A and B are shown apart, each in its own frame.
Chain A
Amino acid sequence: MGIVTFPVEEPMHLAPNTSARPRASAAQAALSNLVPALMGIGLLALIGFAPYPAVHDAFHDVRHTAGFPCH
C-alpha cells in the first residue's frame, strides 16, 4: 500500500500576488498627497483670507475664532 499524499495548499497570506494589477507608482502616490493638500490650502485661504466682503462676513466668526487676521 503506497503512501497517499495530498497536495498542500500554500496559505493565502504567503502566496505570491500573481494578480495583474500593478501597484501604484511613487509618482501617483505623491500626486495623491499633493492634490488634496492643495485643495485644502485653497479652502483654508478662502475661509481665512479671501478679501471679498460677502466671504469675509460669512466666515467672520470663524476667522476670529481660528486666529486669522480679520480686519
Chain B
Amino acid sequence: MNEPTSGGGQVRAVIAAAVAAGVPAGLVYAAAAYVIAMPVLLEAEVFETGVHAGHAAHAVQVAVTGAGLGRLLWGLAGAVGMGCGLALVLTPLVRAMDRAKPGAKPGWRTGAAVGALAFVAVFLLPALVTLPGPPGVEHGPALAARQGAWVLSLLLFAAACGAGAWARAVLLRSGRGPREAVLGAAVLGLLVWAAGVGLFLVTTGFDPAPETGYVPDALIVRFAAATVVCNAFLYAALGAFIPPALRRFGP
C-alpha cells in the first residue's frame, strides 16, 4: 500500500479500492441473483398482477424495465451498484480494523470477518424484522414504516456492537479469558438488539408477518431461501475482494 499524504489522495485511493472490489462482487451477485432468485421472482410476479391490478407504479415498471435484455441490464446495474455501495462502506472498515495492527496489511481474515458481519447486519437481521417477500406479497404496515424498521435494525446492530465491545472490555479487565469475554460480548449484543426490536414491535404494533394474499406460502419460503443464498454470495465476494483491492489500490 502506498501512503498518499493528501486527504484527497487518500479518499481517491480508498474509493478506487472499493470500486475495484465492488464491481466484481456486484457481478457475482448479479449472476447468483439471475440463476437463483430471478426464476422464483418471475414465478411470483404472476401473482403480483393480481395484487397490483390498476397499480400505476407497476405499469411504469413494465414500461421502464420491460422483460428480457432491458430488465437484465437494470438488474446488472443494480447489483453492481449494491456491490460498490457496500464496498464503499466496508472498505474503510477493513482498513480501520487493519490499521489497528501496526505494520499489518489487509488480510483475508479481516475481509471474511467484515463480510460476515455485514451479511448479518445489513441482510439477515433486517430480514428478521421486515420479512422480505417476493413481488405480489402484501404487507400490513406501510412501506415507510417497514423501511424505518429496516433502518432501525441497522442502528440497533450498531448499538449492539457498542454494548458488546464495552462488555468485552469489562470482562477482560475483570480477569476473564478472551473466549469468555467474546461470549459475554455476543450475549449482551444479542440482548440489546432483541430488546430494541421487541420494544419497537410492542410500542408500535408493527406486524412483520406478510399478508400473503395471492402468493402461495411455499413460493414465499423459496424466495426467502433464494435471497439468503444470493446475499451470502455477495457478502462472501466482498469479504474476499476488498483486502486484495486495498493492497493494490488503497492508501
Residues in chain A within 8 A of chain B (CB atoms): 21-24, 27-29, 31-37, 39-44, 46-47, 49, 53-54, 56-71
Contacts and interface: CB of A to CB of B under 8 A. Distances in A.
Most buried by A among B71, B85, B133, B139: B85
B127 interface: yes
Interface stretch (B89-97, B171-179, B186-194): B89-97
B89 A61 contact: no
B230 A54 contact: no
17 contacts: A22-B5, A24-B6, A33-B92, A36-B89, A40-B90, A41-B89, A43-B85, A43-B88, A44-B86, A56-B61, A57-B60, A58-B64, A59-B78, A59-B81, A65-B231, A67-B231, A70-B143
Q: Which 8 A-B pairs have the closest CB atoms?
A: A40-B88, A62-B78, A32-B10, A33-B92, A43-B85, A69-B146, A57-B61, A40-B89
Interface string B130-174: 101111000100010011011000000000000000000000000
A46 B3 CA distance: 32
A69 B227 contact: no
Q: State the main secondary structure of chain B at its contact with A.
A: helix
Nearest to A69: B146
B92 A34 contact: yes
Nearest to A63: B78
Interface of B: 3-7, 10-11, 13-15, 18, 33, 37-38, 41, 56-57, 60-61, 63-65, 71, 74-75, 77-79, 81-82, 84-93, 95-96, 99, 123, 126-127, 130, 132-135, 139, 143, 146-147, 149-150, 223, 226-227, 230-231, 251
Given A39-B15, A66-B231, A69-B132, A61 B38 contact: yes
B75 A61 contact: yes
